[in-house]
Amino acid sequence: METNNSIGKYADVNGIQMYYEIHGTGFPLVLIHGGGSTIGTTFGRIMPALAKNHRVIAVELQAHGHTGDRDSPETFAQDAADIAELLRQLSMPKANIFGFSNGGQTAMEIGITYPEIVNKLIIASAFYSRSGAPEGFWDGFDGATLSSMPEVYQDEYLRITNSPERLLNMFNRDVARMKTFEGWSKEQVSSIQAPALVVIGDRDLTIPEHAIEMSRLLPKGRLAILPGDHGSYIGEIMSADSDSKMPGYFVAMVDEFLAAKTE
């Protein structure tokens, strides 16, 4: 699950040193990791396969992984602004955007706020409103402590930074972002004109009925509900079955969705 530091680079983006990697050739495909995660923990399993047909730009967001922090809250709006600025610096006026979990929320924000840079969207295991998560999910952020963060995420962050202080800071920023999450209106979601693929697992955090609703709100929305839980269909690091063939099927589906002619 390690990132390839031989090709990893940094860009001065809106006051932070933002880490990114570029793999493969072709039309740009931006990968946005989940909360508390890194490029490797979210996309390590499928990134080599995606890079066979796309120019993958994998990023690490504010305070995550190799990327620095700033003296302001971590928000989906700021994450979207950071990615838009990075693409500008890379002279990539348009890209496909693929976000998982919290990265899916960032992908939606990009689709709403920066539609001119979006070719197609993949919104994976995300929700557009608080009602998209199970009852009791939001209560879990009250009094949350670092011990509730999976050790595999902590270990990867410490491997990269060797800084318990930065780890705790990142955790606290993620908790604050979710506690203050207000989501988007149905009108805002419906304003996204780019073709969009909504993907969840059938035992995911996102409620299936919410994913169906979101796919129908999107003017060019498509929906895939795959066997699996939160991220297992992409081989996310928390996946129980490391030998599952589902990530390969998922990549094939993504390739086909991105290759299809825009209506």
Residue 135 — pLDDT band, cuts 50, 70, 90? confident
Distance of CA 79 to the CA centre of its chain: 10
Quick one: CA torsion of 201, 207, 212, 216, rounded to 10 degrees? -120
Is 155 domain-assigned? no
Is 143 domain-assigned? no
Q: Residue 59: which H helix or E strand, with range? A: strand 55-59
Is 171 domain-assigned? no
Question: Mapping DSSP to helix (H, G, I), strand (E, B) and coil, where does residue 1 land?
Answer: coil
159 has a pLDDT exceeding 50: yes
Residue 6 — pLDDT band, cuts 50, 70, 90? low
Residue in the block written with tokens 């860009």: 11
- pLDDT for res 240: 85
131 has a pLDDT exceeding 90: yes
pTM of the model: 0.96
Mean pLDDT of 240-258: 95
Domain membership of residue 255 as a residue range: 9-137+182-259
- pLDDT for res 3: 46
Is 18 domain-assigned? yes
Is 144 domain-assigned? no
251 has a pLDDT exceeding 50: yes
More confident residue, 261 or 196: 196
Mean pLDDT of 201-229: 97
Max CA distance (Å), the chain: 49
Cα–Cα–Cα angle for 178, 179, 180, rounded to 5 degrees: 90
Q: Contact, 143 vs 181, CB < 8 A?
A: no
CATH code where residue 35 lies: 3.40.50.1820
Which residues have C-beta within 8 Å of that of residue 250, sequence separation ≥ 6?
Answer: 46, 199, 226, 233, 234
2 has a pLDDT exceeding 80: no
Tens digit of each residue's pLDDT (9 = 90 or more) over 38-76? 999 999 999 999 999 999 999 999 999 999 999 999 999
Is 85 domain-assigned? yes
Question: Mapping DSSP to helix (H, G, I), strand (E, B) and coil, where does residue 96 land?
Answer: strand
CA distances from 54 to 62, 96, 141, 155, 257 (A): 25, 10, 37, 30, 13
Q: Contact, 177 vs 75, CB < 8 A?
A: yes
Residue in the block written with tokens 């606290």: 172
Q: Which amino acid does the sequence have at 194?
A: A
Is 201 domain-assigned? yes
Is 47 domain-assigned? yes
Percent share of the chain, pLDDT over 90: 93
HEC string of 193-251? CCCEEEEEECCCCCCHHHHHHHHHHCCCEEEEEECCCCCHHHCCCCCCCCCCCHHHHHH
202: its two tokens? 């059938």
For the chain, what is the domain count? Answer: 1
Mean pLDDT of the chain: 95
CA–CA distance, 30 with 46 (Å, rounded to integer): 13
Q: For residue 160, give the DSSP letter.
A: H
